[in-house]
Amino acid sequence: MALSSKTFDYAGGAVNDLFAASAFESKATGYGLEAYNYDLAASMADKNADFTRTSTALKMTQLERQKYSVLGGQQADVASSGFQSSGSALDILRDSAQQGALQEAVAHQQGLIAEEGYRTQAQSFRNMSAASKLAQEQARKSQKNAWINTAVKAAATVASIAL
Amino acid sequence: MPNIRQIVAKDVSLNPSETGTTAVVNNARRIAGVYGDIAQMQQQDGRSFNQSIQAAGDVFVQYAEHREISQGSATFAETQATLSQLWNEHAKNADPNDAETAVRFQKDVLEPALEQWRGAFVTARGQDYAENRVSRLREHMFEKTRSDMATLAGEAAQVNMRTMSNQLSVMVRADPTSLDMALETLNHGVGAMFDSSPNLTGPQASAARTKISQAASEAIVKAAVFGAIEKNPTEGLKLAQDPKYSKYITGMEVGQFEREARAQERMALAEQRYAEMQRKEQKQKLSEDTVKAMVDNLYSPNSTLTIQNVRDAKDQLSLQHFEHILGMVERRSKPDPRATVSAETSSALLERMWLPEGDDRKVTTLDPIREEMIAGRLSKADFNFLNEQFDRASTPDGSRLSTQKKQLMDAVKPLFDKPSSLVPITDPESRLKLMQFMKQVDGEIMEARKNGKDPQAVIDKYSGPNMMQHLSPWQASLQDIMKKQAERMRAPSPATTAPTTPVVTTTPTAPSVPKPTGFPEDAVRGDDGKYRVIRNGVPYIVMPKGN
């Protein structure tokens, strides 16, 4: 095999392929990060599902609580009417305590949900920043490479005239 | 009645918070969006880096490719040159008929070098370039090595064929009748040579085979024709015109062979004549050597030469020499001629002997000297002197000196003939004195040579400003001349000893004319026909009495 234009065609092609490989690596990284973000979103969705289930349970409990509340009102009315019923006051206290705790837990849980949402958003923006910085760095590299290629082609142009 | 108040929880429902969920859900979507943005930025970075790396990589690759190809071009040229040189060295010492030579080079040298060169390239385009160049160079070297081996094999085949052709040509030139056998031998040799060569294959080899075979056949046939013409021009021409061999000889060459045949005939005739001339020259030389030995014997103090000896040696002598030696043997018993006669003959012969080459009058053999000897116009001493001069003139140095001696003789001869300008009377003994003078000059030259001195000094001495002083002892006084002239006029005719046939004389003395009556007894006729007498050393012209 002799030295010819094809030699440099192949060499140029190899360099081109190296950069193409790097480009695919970048794309893979991009897709990876996209997947990671989707994973994050999925995770968030899962959490939201849990939140929804919890919320549903809470709502069921609350409906149960309303039913008992109505019954309690009826028993109270009964008691006030002279009917004998044992233990009713204690039940009412216990029930109130439970309602208060529930209220706190829901508020707390809702705060956590919002926090988690913002944390995820922050992480996502950081990822976005890192990607942009990487793109900036690559753009600078490409700029330098463009100068190098310009010099090489200019020199080649002059040399081709001189030869 | 008592009224008991009870606590009742008013609202026990829990309300889920949607704050976190809503924020988480909303932010999850937003974070995914942010990370989506981060991923988009990272993807954008990746795309940008990809583009930058590609851009820079493209440039780097271009640079690396350019650098590689640029450097590779230079090193490729160097590699190619090195490989070519290595191949040349490899091929230079290779056996042209070894088929593995190129393969071994490709395997052991070429491929490792190409692999090493190609290994230096790391870019795709560089490797493409290298592969292309390597492929091209491999192809080139393959062709080159194969071609070179074929060339080497072809050259080797050519050399072998030429050797065979030359040997067969020599054979058929000596024996033209073996031409057909030689051609058959050649064809078998060519076939064996090309068929057995692993590097000579394909159409080129076939073409080379045909070409070499044809050229060798032509050379052999022509050699046979030449050989036949040398032996018998007519038969040789028939061979050249034989249709059987027409494919080896062009019409122009047939014409050349015809001219060659005629030239051969002329040459044969010339050789015949030359041989005849050689025989004659040899015979003449033998004759000359024989007659010379006989003459030496004849004039030696203890001569034993007889007429019979001469007759016995007749076969070795030319007719002229035979007659000469016979005449000289007969002449041996007779007295020498008068000194003046011999001197005149000698001076005339010397003049002719010293003439320049090409002059018809020049004496080129000893025959004229011998003929004068036989005729009685030469003394033995002058004969020997002339023989010596002839021998010396035959050498290069002697020839040069002879020319100068002739110039000296020409210069002094008039001074010997007419010592006085007052009286136009020739000294009757001028030739005798001239010869004595020349003999003295020659003696001094021989002495100078003997003493290692330059003979030229002798010539210069007599031909310089003091010539008259050196000649004065040889010149006769006017009185002596007139006296000798008068004696000559009174003397009887020298017919008994005088030459019967006058020789050529350059300065003939005045003819001996009977003196008319009426003149004084001592009156002498001059060259002008006038008669003179000397009184108190003074010449006077006299007239006959009564006038």
The β-bridge partners of B525 are: B531
Q: How confident is the model at residue B369 (pLDDT cuts 50, 70, 90)?
A: very high
Inter-chain residue contact A23 with B42, CB threshold 8 Å: yes
Question: Is the pLDDT score of B128 beyond 60?
Answer: yes
Per residue in B275-319, pLDDT (tens digit) is 999 998 999 899 999 988 898 888 888 888 888 888 898 898 989
Neighbours of A161 (CB within 10 A): 8
Whole-angstrom distance, CA of residue B15 vs CA of residue B18: 9
Q: Tell me the average pLDDT across B393-408.
A: 85
Q: What count of residues does chain B have?
A: 547
Strand order in the sheet with B524-525: B524-525, B531-535, B538-542
Inter-chain residue contact A134 with B54, CB threshold 8 Å: no
Per residue in A35-93, pLDDT (tens digit) is 888 888 788 888 878 877 887 777 777 777 777 777 776 666 666 666 555 556 667 77
Inter-chain residue contact A124 with B53, CB threshold 8 Å: no
Which residues of chain B make contact with A5, given a CB cutoff of 8 A?
A: 54, 57-58, 61
Whole-angstrom distance, CA of residue A29 vs CA of residue A25: 6
Half-sphere exposure of A115 (CA within 13 A, CB side): 6
Candidate from A4, A23, A124 with C-beta closest to B61 = A4
Candidate from B15, B22, B40 with C-beta closest to A110 = B15
Per residue in B26-46, pLDDT (tens digit) is 888 888 888 888 888 888 888
Q: Is B543 exposed, middle or buried (0-12, 13-18, 19+ CB in 10 A)?
A: exposed
Which residues of chain B make contact with A142, given a CB cutoff of 8 A?
A: 41-42, 44-45
Please tell me the least confidently modeled range out of A79-88, B66-75, B125-134, B185-194: A79-88
All structural domains of chain B with their residue ranges: 70-249, 334-507
Q: Tell me the average pLDDT across B151-166.
A: 83
- In the chain, the amino acid numbered A35 is A
Q: Residue B531: phi, psi to the nearest 5? A: -100, 140
Inter-residue contact B125 to B138 (CB < 8 Å): no
The pTM assigned to this predicted structure is 0.44
Question: Is the pLDDT score of B273 beyond 90?
Answer: yes
Half-sphere exposure of B235 (CA within 13 A, CB side): 9
**Residues contacting residue B458 through CB under 8 Å, at least 6 positions apart:** B441, B444, B445, B448
Q: Is B147 exposed, middle or buried (0-12, 13-18, 19+ CB in 10 A)?
A: middle
Candidate from B24, B38, B59 with C-beta closest to A26 = B38
Please tell me the least confidently modeled range out of A133-142, B134-143, B385-394: A133-142
Which residues of chain A make contact with B52, given a CB cutoff of 8 A?
A: 12, 148-149, 152-153, 156
Q: What is the DSSP letter of A46?
A: H
Please compute Rg for chain B using Cα positions: 61
- In the chain, the amino acid numbered B276 is E
Question: Is the pLDDT score of B423 beyond 80?
Answer: no
For chain B, positions 52-71, list CB contacts with chain A under 8 A.
Answer: 52-64, 66
Best-predicted range by mean pLDDT among B154-163, B196-205, B420-429? B154-163
Q: Are strands B538-542 and B531-535 parallel, antiparallel or unpaired?
A: antiparallel
- Which residues in B245-331 belong to E strands, given as ranges? none
